[in-house]
Amino acid sequence: MPRKTSSSKNPGPNGSRLKTQEQTQKVDDQGKHAVDIAAMEQAINDQLTEAATIQDPGEQSAAKRAEAKRNIRRADYQLGQDDLFRVNTNRGLQELLRAKNIKLKEVLDTLKYEEELVALQIELVKLQRWVREKGKRVAILFEGRDAAGKGGTIRRFTEHLNPRHIRVVALPAPSIEETGQWYFQRYSKQLPNAGEIVFFDRSWYNRAVVEPVNKFCSQREYERFMQQVPEFEHMLYEDGIMIVKFWFSISKTEQQERFDSRRVNPLKQWKLSPIDDKAQELWASYTNYKEMMFSKTHTSFSPWIIVKANNKKQARLESIRYLLNIIDYDGKDQAKVRICPDPDIVTRFHRNVVRLD
């Protein structure tokens, strides 16, 4: 009797090739899927780690928050495929975050902040292009108590701007030669050129607050400065330089918490200085000189803009909005983000305004 041939057991040359192609395609698909899963896992782990570092300032001290961040960095948040499939649903994401002890509201607030920041930075790029094309000169002064968030805000302003047409000025203590010069001379050298934006991380207003509080200048030098600074700024205004003066306002408690955070964070310890060590002790003196500065140097052509900065993220967003709002740059009407600043966060100085410091 002739033997029966089964095609499944003996597919022949064409069948073998077809089976080999199918196996190869299956392996390729699995490899591609594994790469996608790995990429997704890494991205989600990064987001979870970043989100988990957010702590409620009202719940923990600065030292405890720093310790929590270190623990998170040491923690091993590895997501398996089951976790990834769960993330694909709203409820699954909530359960996953809850299992990792992460507050969903804080995660969403951080994501919203990042989205708004990027949208505002796009507008800053458009603003810089307009300044460059029109040959404008813009000087932005960032003042405030120590640890008020000035440097961090400047970094958000400049992060995506063309570095060829901006400068960040943070002058050290004056040299022996500079102490014999007119006080404004070394700052005059740093003023913006045509088509340039200059960010002053502290400015000539050191002599209005920091220097008299810490006895770095004489009473006569202080009084001469207070008399000359409105005249100096009026000359700059008449010459076409736009001056924006921000004062970042924080509470005494918030300042102390930020100092404590810097002391336990090795990446921020460089920010501490002997002046910082005395800031809390001299709080009232800083307040007196600050109020005097506002009353003598707040003018219609160079007003003081007060930014409530206990919440760093809000302060960054709203100060950027303020700058965008006061300049009519090209493409402003096409902005896809709110430009008008929140009046509860940013306001012009007036005597009855409620301030944190």
- Can you tell me the distance from the alpha carbon of 327 to that of 331, in angstroms, rounded to the nearest whole number? 11
In this predicted structure, the answer to whether residue 54 has a pLDDT above a threshold of 80 is no
β-bridge pairing 137-144 and 241-249: parallel
- Can you tell me the distance from the alpha carbon of 187 to that of 143, in angstroms, rounded to the nearest whole number? 15
pLDDT digits (tens, 9 = 90+) for 3-26: 444 444 444 545 555 444 555 454
Q: What is the mean pLDDT of residues 169-185?
A: 96
Number of CB atoms found within 10 A of residue 256's CB? 16
First to last CA, the chain: 104
CATH 3.40.50.300 assigned to 110-348: yes
What SS3 class is residue 338? coil
Among the listed residues 261, 309, 312, 258, the one whose alpha carbon sits nearest the alpha carbon of residue 113:
312
- Can you tell me the distance from the alpha carbon of 123 to that of 113, in angstroms, rounded to the nearest whole number? 15
Delimiting residues of CATH 3.40.50.300 domain(s) in the chain: 110-348
pLDDT digits (tens, 9 = 90+) for 120-161: 999 999 999 999 999 999 999 999 999 999 999 999 999 999
